[in-house]
Amino acid sequence: MPRKTIDEGIKEQTAEVLATIDDLLEKAGSDKSRILSCQIFLKDINQIAEMNSVWDLWIPKGHCPSRATVQASMANPKTGIEIVIAAALR
Question: Per this entry, what is the length of the chain?
Answer: 90
CATH code of 81's domain: 3.30.1330.40
d(CA 19, CA 35): 14
Residue 48 — φ and ψ, nearest 5°?
-60, -40
Q: Which domain holds residue 66?
A: 29-87
d(CA 87, CA 67): 12
On the question of pLDDT at 4 being above 80, the answer is yes
What's the pTM? 0.92
The answer to whether residue 35 is domain-embedded is: yes
Question: Looking at residues 10-30, what average pLDDT do you find?
Answer: 96
Domain count, the chain: 1
The answer to whether residue 47 is domain-embedded is: yes
For residue 1, what pLDDT is reported? 60
Give residue-wise pLDDT tens across range 27-79. Answer: 999 999 999 999 999 999 999 999 999 999 999 999 889 999 999 999 999 99
